[in-house]
Amino acid sequence: QLHLQESGPGLVKPSETLSLSCKVSGGSISSSYYYWGWIRQPPGKGLEWMGGIDYTGRTYDNPSLKSRLTISVDTSKSQFSLNLKSVSAADTSVYFCARISTWNYVQYWGQGILVAVSS
């Protein structure tokens, strides 16, 4: 069974960079049948697609975050990562990593990690 585990700091200061990683276990990160992504949920709000990446490094961007967001993949470590720069309180969210099928639906989710942006 595929397992995704997010890791990173639970608190980030405003204007700094939020960095998270997602470790993939129980399956291969390298396949053309799916890609990997980040989805977040601000407190009391809905789900927001942030962006994705496949094992070749091709990215799938959300235009609203493109200028601040970098997603990378390290196939040797079976993980992918997110860097969101210049964060503000509006970036406080639960961040989920996910595996997305080529039909563009989420097949597997991580448990989520709460990241607060506060000084």
Partner 1 sequence: QSVLTQPPSVSGAPGQRVTISCTGTSSNIGADFDVHWYQHLPGTAPQLLIYGNTNRPTGVPERFSGSKSGTSASLAITGLQAEDEADYYCQSYDSGLSGVLFGGGTKLTVL
CA distance linking residue 47 with residue 43, whole number of Å: 10
**In this structure, are residues 8 and 20 in contact, taking their beta carbons and an 8 Å threshold?**
yes
Total residues belonging to the chain: 119
Selected binder of partner 1 within 110, 113, 115, 117 (CB under 8 A): 110
**In this structure, are residues 26 and 15 in contact, taking their beta carbons and an 8 Å threshold?**
no
- Site map 21..60 versus partner 1, x via CB under 8 A: ----------------x-x------xxxx-xx-------x
What's the closest the beta carbon of residue 15 comes to partner 1, in angstroms? 26
Binding site for partner 1 (CB under 8 A): 37, 39, 46-49, 51-52, 60-63, 96, 100-101, 103-107, 109-112
